[in-house]
Amino acid sequence: MPKTVKTRKVAKSTVITVPSELNVPTDVQFKPSVNEHGDLIFKRIDQLNQEEATSITEFIDQFKPVLEYLKDR
């Protein structure tokens, strides 16, 4: 069982250190939430694969000229 951790203030954020024995990899995104009891819950966000990222980029690029045209109207 991992050791107890404590929140601390860094700039304008409250942070919690994730103990290394939990083997959480770096550069992984999590969606935080707080339940009705005040417990913090962090759910891993599925990362996009290369095909999905390319599809999104192509979609955005396709409509970018229209969005640029409309932004100042």
The tens digit of pLDDT for each residue in 1-10 reads 668 999 999 9
What DSSP line would sit under the chain, residue for residue? -PPP---EEETTEEE-PPPGGG-PPSS--EEEEE-TTS-EEEEEPPPPPHHHHHHHHHHHHHHHHHHHHHHT-
The tens digit of pLDDT for each residue in 11-67 reads 999 999 999 999 998 888 899 999 999 999 999 988 778 888 889 999 999 998 888
- Record the tokens describing residue 53, joined without a space: 């990222």
